[in-house]
Each structure stands twice: as structure tokens, then as C-alpha cells.
Structure 1
Amino acid sequence: MATAYGPDTRDLHRPGTGSGGHPPAKHVLPAALRAPFEGRTWRELGYVLLSMPISVVLFCFAVTMVSLGLGMLITFLGIPILAAGLAMCRGFGAVERARARALLRLDVADPAPIRGKGGLMSWVGAVLKSGVSWRHLLYAVLHMPWATFAFVVAVTFWAYGWAAFTYPLWRWVFPAYAGVGGIQLYGDRTHQVYLDSPFEMAVTSALGLALVLVTPWIVRGLVAVDRVMVLGLLGPSRLATRVSELESDRGVVVDTAAADLRRIERDLHDGAQARLVALAMDLGLAKEKLTDDPEAAARMVDEAHGEVKVALQELRDLARGIHPAVLTDRGLDAALSAIASRCTVPVKVVVDLESRPAQAIEGIAYFTVSELLQNVSKHARATRASVDVWRAGDRLMLQVGDDGRGGAGVSTGSGLAGLTERLDAVDGILVVDSPAGGPTTVTAELPWRG
């Protein structure tokens, strides 16, 4: 699936991004020191604390309903009870996706709804045949022991860490109310060991600080498992996601083909067709003047001859825009060199291919480089550019770079956004690295399919 530099993804806490998918803000303190006070840490801790009671309720409900349904399969009532249990697990799954979205900033798409052909039994059959329903049941069973473990670990580290770190502030409770000097580490009939000296309190506080600093990362590791479980069990299946992507890509292909046909029709109507109509009128006038004013007719025929040359050039340009002959005859190396020669800045082209990819992929690669070099000519204000093409496994790699002003992006309506959609239609990837001030590097990855 095609991606680009900058747009949101499902996991908004992925490395290299800040909240909401934006570039991370610069901080004075390192991450290890500010982690205990970040909003993300408290949200993740809240997620872990809520997970245990929710998972216990979900586990008890799921086990009860499934056991009741399986136990009553000998009667007709077992089937609808089992279906109702699975449907309720899907309802709990919606709650869990909302909780992950709010606290973990993990946006998981909702699975496809259950669609029966009509009637109760049709709905029951659809629920029981749905793999999504059974994956929700599996989540209900597996998440409870993990949520309990994560709850115990997080609460233990968090409580002991802050208690030890702030020990010098509340040690006075022991001599005031318990009659001892501090926390008792060891005691028997002969002697006792208390944390009551300044050195011991300092060491206790230092150990507590270490726990406070490491606890957010432990909690982050715990919720990473929750992220995997939510993504893998509560989201749509890979097959359903792939079908949705293919449907979307098919729509993009259809829209792109329609847009290309409209462009060709417009170019023919406004260019060569209009010129040929004017040429026909001029030849008609020249024919009428042929006997009365041969010299004027000759001039008109000469002008018409020039118009024919211009019309032929426009048709050749249009044919090259549909599919250049040099690409079919000589491949990407010659075709990209021809594009580079028309660029307004010097372009170095390096094509390292031992064989040729599929014709459709070759055509998309050609038009991708063509559009990127047009952007360099029109917008980059560059003094030089480069085009590199190579094969990496079963992928065709393209990279176009320039030393221009940078700032290119894939915002809606831009040429790069349309290019991203075109590559997406063939499982391609587009990555744009264009900081303000430059340089700009655009990398495209296409399937080889040779």
C-alpha cells in the first residue's frame, strides 16, 4: 500500500512522531527524566489500571456464555445463546477499541458488521461463521491473565518507586505513631534494622528515583503487548483489510483512467483538433483563390503546411504522453534520459537494471520520474538533480533528488498526492524527504512483476 512522509498512521506513538502524528517537539530534559511526568505515561498507566477490572468482567461473561451455550447445544437454545455471547464480545471489543484510541492513541478500524440475509436464524448463522466474532472471544480469554499480570507489575513498580523516592518526606510517621525510627528491613528477637539514618534515607530515595524513572518504560513495554492484542484480535482481518484496500485501489485506477481520458480528449479538442479545423478552413480558402490569386493561394498553402507540422508535433507529444515509443523500444534507461534532457536543470541519470520489469510497472515508473522532474523544473529552484533506478529483490526502486529549496509535501490536491494514489493502486510506496531549505529526495518503490 502506498504511504508518504507525513500523513497520520494508526499508531500515533510510533518512533519519530509526537502526539497526533506531528514531528516531535524539542525538549530541554532528556526523555528518561521527563517520562514520569508526560501525559502519555499517565494515559498508559490508566489503561493498565482499567484493563484488569474490565478484562475480569469480560472474561467471566465470555466463559459463562460460551459454557452455557455449549452445554445447551443438546437443545436448540444453545446455538442462539452462543451467538448472543459472541455478539456481546464484539460489543466489548468496540469498548476496548475506543479505550485504546483514547488512552494509547491507537486507532484500530472497526471490523465489518454482521450482515444476515434476514431473520433471526440468518443473523445467528452469520455471527457463528464470522471469524471476527471468534477472535473477539479469544481476546476475552487471553487478555484477562495478561491484564492481571500487567496490573500487578505496574502498580508494584509505581507504588514502591514513589514511596521510596518520597521516603524522607513521610518517615516522620514511624517515630510519631509507631514508636520506631523508620521502615523495618529486618527484625528478630535480638536486633532490628530500620531505615532511619540520613545515609539510609538518601539511598532509599535514590533507589526510589531509579524505580520512578524506569517504571514508565516498563509500563510502555506492557502496553506494547496490549497494542498487539488489540490490533491482531479486535481489528478487521488481514483478508478483509486487503479486500478493502483493493476496492479502494480499483476506484483510484478507474478515476485515474477517467482523468487521463478527459485530459487526452481536452488536449485533442483544444490542440490538434482545433488546429486541423483551422487548417481545413485555410485550405478551403486557398482552393477558392487558386484560380483568381495564385500567389495568395500559395502563401495560404505554405502557412497551412506550417500548421500541419505544428499539429503533427502536438500529436507526437500527445502520443508520448500516453506511452512513449522509446520506452517500449529501448526501456527505462533511454526513456528516462530523454525526460532528463528536457528538464530545465542538469540531471544525472543512473539506471542499474539487468532486465526489464512488467510493462505496466515500467510505464508507471516512467511517468513517476517524469512528474517528479516536472516538479523540479517548476517549483524546486534547483541547480541540479539526479535520477537513480535499481532493483532490490522483487521491487523496483526509483529515487529523484534535487538541491532546491525543499518544502515539498503530499498535501491534498498536490501533484505528489495524486502520484501517491497512482503508486498505491499497484502496491507501490512513495516517501518524500523534503525539509525546508532542501535538499529534496523522493523515493518510490514498485513491485517488479517481470
Structure 2
Amino acid sequence: MTESPPISTGAAPLDDTSPPPPKAPLSAWTWREIAYLLSNFPLDVVAFVVLLVWLTLGIGLSVTVVGLPLLATGLVACRRYGKLERARARALLGVEVEEPSPLRAREKGFFPWLWACLKDPVAWRHALFAFIRLPWAVLTFSVTLVSLFVAWPALPWLARWLSNVDRAMVRGLLSPSDELERRIAELEADRMAVSDTAAADLRRIERDLHDGAQARLVALAMGLGLAKEKLLEGRADEGVAAMVDEAHGEVKLALQELRDLARGIHPAILTDRGLGPALASLAGRCTVPVATSVDLAERPAPAIEGIVYFTVSELLQNISKHSAARKASVEVWRVEDRLLIQVADDGRGGARLDGGSGMAGLAERLGSVDGLFVLDSPVGGPTRVTAELPWRARGETSRTGKR
């Protein structure tokens, strides 16, 4: 384990760079605002004209086969225009606006894409931005240009007031529509992480079956085949008995490997008896003495139980391999609709999410179910990992039962 301060996987919102208060003479901030206000006019004229022509042709030809595709293509262009305006506001006004979630059709094909484009709220908001900006651009261009030559002492305050209106428009019309849209983007990323984890697990299972139990069963079949031939030929001797004895040993090893593999997929003790006994079993296999405490009046959803089990399992493996600890502890409890886990040890500390100990994978797995993963591991120890999960996975119900 290597050093790191407390780390949380909870996503932090983007911070806007707030400009300092305006003052005379003209500051660098004011010149950027002036550049933004003066460049609005030519860009907004072009955007307005293109928008007007596109809407006129698209709506007018909507009764033909080219009208709706033309509208859809224009809406895709509106998304590109919004991206350009966000970049310009970021560079000249210091406004940090999150990118909206990408356009996605429910199915592949032209018509699903067409329908997704036509009902895309992001693109329509960008079109509205281009439509209402032209009158404002004419006003701000005129006021800024006149103030540069006539009222320049008041220009810093005028530029700030005018650009603040632009900031509000950018945030209101070019940002993601609401929390739901931002959540969609997060869930898309989480889905990819879960898919990668599932693919890695399937590859591990296939490798374990191929190199372990399958190889032993093949050897067993060959050994039993040779013993059978000798028996049929009437050449039974001590060698046949040894071959049968060896085959019996191979059967036991193969069965043990299959049990270990099944336990790695989903342990029977977790299904049958719940988190308390399952975590106690994990603690018993750790090379460091582990005290466990599971304070739950009922069982959470099966998916959440599985994530808790494998999270604790990997953390205890890290303690066994890297911590040089003398003791460790595992605590699980519930606070309202959240399930909390804390795994601590008195080892050397210095663990990091990017230290190659699997911490980053655990953080991704918890994030995929709207969980939180916090690592506190200063050099010299102690190390404390706190994880938080929803009590129930979406679409699942809890199972009653005492620990």
C-alpha cells in the first residue's frame, strides 16, 4: 500500500471562475468581456440567419421526405453551435458549464436516430439560444462600441453588467437541462465500468476452469481409461490400484477447485445465512486477526449483499498481503436508507486508489450502484476504508431475516 490523503469518489461539481470586481483602468478581465460582447454580433448574425433558413426550409418541407431529415440535421448542428458557445464563454467569461449528455437513439437505424434528433431538448434549447441572442447582440455591440470612444470610464461596469446577462443565458440555455440529464451521463459511465468488471470476471472464471478443474478432470479421465483397459485385459496389478487411488485424489482436488470457483462467483454461506456469518468466514481466512461487527436488523437486497461481501473480501486480502498489520476490524451498519462499511487495520498505511491494490476497481464497483468509497491511509497507518451503499438496489426488494 502507498500514501494518499482521504479520497472520495463522489463527483464534485464544476466551479465557475468568478471575475474580480470591475475597476478602472481596464483590466484583463474587462478586455475579455469586451472581446466577448463585440464578437457576439457577427457570430449571432450568422447563427440567426442559418437558423431562420433552416427552420423555414425544414418546416416548409416537412410534408416531403427531405423535411424531417433536414430538421434533424439542423438540430445536430445546433448541438455543435452550443459546444462552440460554451467554449467561447469559458475562454472569455470564465463560465464553466458541463457538457450535456450525448444524443443516443434507443435502437440502431435511421428512423430511431431521426426521432431522437427531433425530440432532443438540448438541441432545441441551443436553437432558442441562437434565436434570442440576435437582438441582445445588437444592443450589446452598440453600447460597447460607443462606450469605447465616448463613455470609456464607465466601460468596466457596463461590460460587467452586460456580460453577466450573457453568463446567465449561457448557464440557463447551454447547460444540461436538469439533474436528471447529468445523472444519465454519470450512469452511462457507471454502466461502462460495470460492463468492464463483468467481462473481467467472466475471463477469470474461464481461465480458472480451463487451467484448473478442467485440466484435472481431463487427466482423471485419461487415468481411469488406462485403468479400465488394464482391467479388461486381465492385467490388474498394484499399478492399477495406484492409478485408481491417484484418480480419487484428482477428483477431490477438482471438487475443491470447483467449490472455490463457485464461492468466488457467489458464496453459498452469503445466500443461506447472510452478511454476518459470511463476513465472519472471510475474517477467519485472513492472515491478520479480524474483529467483525454486523449490526443489521434485516437483509439488504441480494445485489448489495454481494457487493459488500466482495468489497470486504478484497480489502481483507489487501490487509493480508500489504499492510503488515497486527489486527483489523470490519463493521457494517445501516443509517436510514444507506448501508455503511468500515474496514480498518493498524498496519503501515500508505494505500492509494492508484497504487495497484485494486482500490480503484472497488471504487468503480461501488460508484456503479450510487455508492461512495473513501480511503484514509497516511504513511505509518492506520488505514481506514469507509464505503457507503444504497440499502436496496433499484428494482429489488429486501429479504427479511435476523443476523
TM-score of the aligned structures, taking structure 2 as reference length: 0.65
Counting matched residue pairs gives: 340
1:11 aligns with 2:14: yes
Which position in structure 1 is the counterpart of 2:99?
A: 109
1:426 aligns with 2:342: no
Distance between the aligned counterparts of 2:328 and 2:255, measured in 1? 31
1:390 partner SS: strand
CA contact (8 A) 1:111 1:235 kept: no
CA contact (8 A) 1:289 1:296 kept: no
Matches within 5 A, 1:28-427: 46-47=28-29, 50-51=32-33, 54=36, 91=81, 94-97=84-87, 99-100=89-90, 106=96, 108-109=98-99, 112=102, 130=123, 132-133=125-126, 136=129, 233-237=173-177, 238-290=179-231, 291-411=234-354, 415-427=358-370
The letter of the residue matching 1:254 is S
CA contact (8 A) 1:90 1:133 kept: no
In structure 2, the CA distance between the partners of 1:132 and 1:427, relative to structure 1 (3 Å rule), is: farther
**RMSD across aligned positions (CA):** 5.1
In structure 2, the CA distance between the partners of 1:270 and 1:227, relative to structure 1 (3 Å rule), is: farther
The letter of the residue matching 1:259 is A
CA contact (8 A) 1:327 1:335 kept: yes
Which position in structure 2 is the counterpart of 1:174?
A: none
Structure 1 residue 322: Cα displacement: 0.7
Which position in structure 2 is the counterpart of 1:200?
A: none
Q: Deviations over 1:408-445 (max 9, x none)?
A: 22228651222222222222222222223322222222
Distance between the aligned counterparts of 1:427 and 1:123, measured in 2? 27
Asked which structure has the greater RCO (Cα within 8 Å, sep 6+), the reply is 2
CA contact (8 A) 1:100 1:106 kept: yes
Which position in structure 1 is the counterpart of 2:24?
A: none
Structure 1 residue 376: Cα displacement: 1.2
CA contact (8 A) 2:126 2:174 kept: no
Distance between the aligned counterparts of 1:400 and 1:114, measured in 2? 40
2:216 partner SS: helix
Structure 1 residue 256: Cα displacement: 2.3
The letter of the residue matching 1:236 is P
2:381 partner SS: coil
CA contact (8 A) 1:106 1:227 kept: no
Distance between the aligned counterparts of 1:103 and 1:388, measured in 2? 49
CA contact (8 A) 2:36 2:93 kept: no
Structure 1 residue 285: Cα displacement: 2.8
TM-score of the aligned structures, taking structure 1 as reference length: 0.59
In structure 2, the CA distance between the partners of 1:274 and 1:129, relative to structure 1 (3 Å rule), is: closer
CA contact (8 A) 2:78 2:126 kept: no
In structure 2, the CA distance between the partners of 1:336 and 1:229, relative to structure 1 (3 Å rule), is: farther
Distance between the aligned counterparts of 1:103 and 1:379, measured in 2? 49
Q: Deviations over 1:113-152 (max 9, x none)?
A: 799x89xxx999778884542785799799x99xx9xxx9
Structure 1 residue 255: Cα displacement: 2.6
The letter of the residue matching 1:109 is E
In structure 2, the CA distance between the partners of 1:91 and 1:55, relative to structure 1 (3 Å rule), is: farther
Which position in structure 2 is the counterpart of 1:160?
A: none
Distance between the aligned counterparts of 1:108 and 1:353, measured in 2? 39
Unaligned runs of 5+ in 2: 1-5, 21-26, 61-70, 145-152, 393-397, 399-403
